[in-house]
Amino acid sequence: MLFFSACNPQIRYLGEFGGRPNQHIDVYYDAYDIEQNYKVLGIMSVVPNALHSIESIKKSMIEHCRKVGADAILFTALVPVNNAANVVEARVLKYTVHQESSREYIQNK
């Protein structure tokens, strides 16, 4: 069990659960590409180590979104840490029905 958890990136998630696990997760890199209304379920980050490629981190984060019942993930940043690695940050999204679109809400803040 220790070996398995050492092989997977350690995901830090602060947020809520959106319901049953979702089979498909939409992936975004810019909020302006999202046409559906949404709310942010939570914030996720991963600090990689030498065992983790960016692609494996991306896959692990998408899988975590699926498990918490999200509809989409918005990757928001690669933040350098100690000149050795990048922290990968993302927002976990759930699609909603609102009068005001999420894009208008962001622009009005």
Bridge partner list, 74: 28, 91
19-31 pLDDT tens trace: 898 899 999 999 9
Average pLDDT over residues 76-94: 84
CATH of the domain at 79: 3.30.110
Q: What is the pTM of this model?
A: 0.79
Task: Report how far residue 65's alpha carbon sits from residue 86's, in angstroms, rounded to the nearest whole number.
Answer: 20
Q: How many domains does the chain have?
A: 1
Quote the domain boundaries for residue 67. Answer: 2-108
Q: Which helix or strand (DSSP H or E) is residue 3 part of? A: helix 2-7
Computed over every residue of the chain, the mean pLDDT equals 83
Would the pLDDT of 3 be above 60?
no
Would the pLDDT of 45 be above 80?
yes
pLDDT at position 2 is: 34
Higher-scoring residue by pLDDT: 32, 100: 32
